[in-house]
Amino acid sequence: MLGNFKYSNPTKLYFGDKSLDFLSEELNRFGPTVMLTYGGGSIKRNGIYDQVTAILHEAGKTIVELPGVMPNPTVEKLMEGARVARENNVDLILAVGGGSTIDYAKGVSVSAWCDEDPWEKYYLRQESPSCRIIPVGCILTMVGTGSEMNGGSVITNHNQGLKIGKVFDERVMPRFAILNPRFTFTLPHYQMVAGFFDIMSHLMEQYFSGDDDNTSDYLAEGLMRSLISGSRIAVKDPTNYEARSNIMWTATWALNTLIKCGKRQDWMVHMIGQAIGAHTDATHGMTLAAVSIPYYRFVSQFGTDKFARFATNVWNIRPDGKTPEQLAHEGINALESWMREIGVVMKSSELGVNEQNIPAIAQSTILLNSGFHQITHDEVIQILHASL
Ligand code: NZQ
Ligand code: ZN
């Protein structure tokens, strides 16, 4: 643990199948006008909308509805939300949904009273908010992103071919998050397993970096083992509460700023995945799945010892008589087998990537230098070709 870091996290969590009971208590802390934001209608079909609005009415709140947050929320939708929030002078933004809706709520919270162009200020220039910030609370219905307990907000600008994440500071992180595993039972299988892979990817992005002996890596290994175990149960038995609740808790801790402590972190799988998303609008977790195996097969040569440790500590591969290279290889094979077992997309061509759009996707890929290797533009192109 050789780095210097600050750790604090202001989000209060309520977890379990009774967690919605605590919403009214939280609502008392905020003013009378609540912007209720949600996605394309799943919360109306599964009854969560009725439960939440009943509690809001009972608390005497004025509800301003902002429905229709699409997966991979767009900059146009962000501007609509900012206008509605400002016109109604809302006191709290309550996001009910998955990462898209919660990311969106954070974007609106810092854009409503912003006098500059929010896309340029926060996402392109990566600046911090200097205006009034509207508090955000959330009720999570899809597990994966960790948005419920972090400052991340990813917005897509289709005109510019860019999908960019901004990690806002503690002022923007949800004040409270309600995590009821039962609320995730109605997720379609495709979304459920995309979320599972997103969790694994968050863990790997932070794990595959650095070479010091670091408690964060031991935490990541434990979370990976829990995810692998729970996911194997959940794909066969999606309403298994124990498995789904473990996965929900794992997802939150996978990306709530804890396991990045003292880590450089990689995040190149996410950079390539987000570039694919900007051009295809594909499901986030699947974009990561499609490029992970080619990426890790390439990059493992620069961090062989860590990949060997991944094989033994995460996948229980016996090290006897094997070289670190062999072990690293077997660890990635085990990852690939698990991905096939849970049923994620293994080829980017299934998401709309092809020979023609690879140059543009590579052009949209932000190149970071914090994992085991400083990747180049040409290497991104090679990885994208290998992912087809
Ligand atoms: O829109 P509705 O009708 O609600 O349907 C959604 C959506 O179609 C559906 N869904 C959610 N909960 C459901 C449900 N359907 C039935 N029953 C339920 N209980 O699932 C679909 C996907 O939802 P979405 O919110 O888009 O998925 P996810 O949670 O994966 O969020 C993806 C977004 O988060 C960003 C991604 O880039 C993407 O834009 N990320 C945010 C991060 C962060 N804040 O730190 C980090 C991640 O790496 C990621 O980049
Ligand atoms: Zn992700």
Encode the chain (388 residues) as per-residue pLDDT tens digits: 888 999 999 999 999 999 999 999 999 999 999 999 999 999 999 999 999 999 999 999 999 999 999 999 999 999 999 999 999 999 999 999 999 999 999 999 999 999 999 999 999 999 999 999 999 999 999 999 999 999 999 999 999 999 999 999 999 999 999 999 999 999 999 999 999 999 999 999 999 999 999 999 999 999 999 999 999 999 999 999 999 999 999 999 999 999 999 999 999 999 999 999 999 999 999 999 999 999 999 999 999 999 999 999 999 999 999 999 999 999 999 999 999 999 999 999 999 999 999 999 999 999 999 899 999 999 999 999 999 9
Cα separation values, 40 from 96, 121, 190, Å: 11, 28, 16
Pocket test for ligand 1, best of 191, 253, 256, 265 (most atoms within 8 A of CB): 191
Give the Cα separation of 118 and 380 in Å (integer). Answer: 29
Strand-pairing partners, residue 137, are 94, 176
Give the Cα separation of 176 and 136 in Å (integer). Answer: 8
| Structural domains in the chain plus CATH codes | 12-183 (3.40.50.1970), 189-387 (1.20.1090.10)
Pocket test for ligand 1, best of 42, 110, 140, 149 (most atoms within 8 A of CB): 42
- Residues with Cβ within 8 Å of 156's Cβ and at least 6 positions away in sequence, in order, are 72, 73, 74, 75, 162, 163, 277, 278, 281
Position in ligand 1 atom list of the atom nearest CA 186: 17
C-alpha Rg value of the chain to the nearest Å: 20
Position in ligand 1 atom list of the atom nearest CA 106: 44
Q: How far is the CA of 44 from the centre of ligand 2 (A)?
A: 26
Pocket test for ligand 1, best of 20, 37, 142 (most atoms within 8 A of CB): 142
Cα separation values, 351 from 22, 35, 287, 288, 328, Å: 40, 34, 7, 11, 28
Q: Which ligand does the CA of 185 lie closest to?
A: 1
Q: Which ligand does the CA of 72 lie closest to?
A: 1
Position in ligand 1 atom list of the atom nearest CA 70: 1
Residues within 6 Å of ligand 1 by CB = 39-43, 46, 71-72, 97-101, 103, 141-142, 144-147, 150, 152, 154, 165, 183-184, 186-187, 191, 195, 198, 255, 270, 284-285
Q: How far is the CA of 60 from the centre of ligand 2 (A)?
A: 36
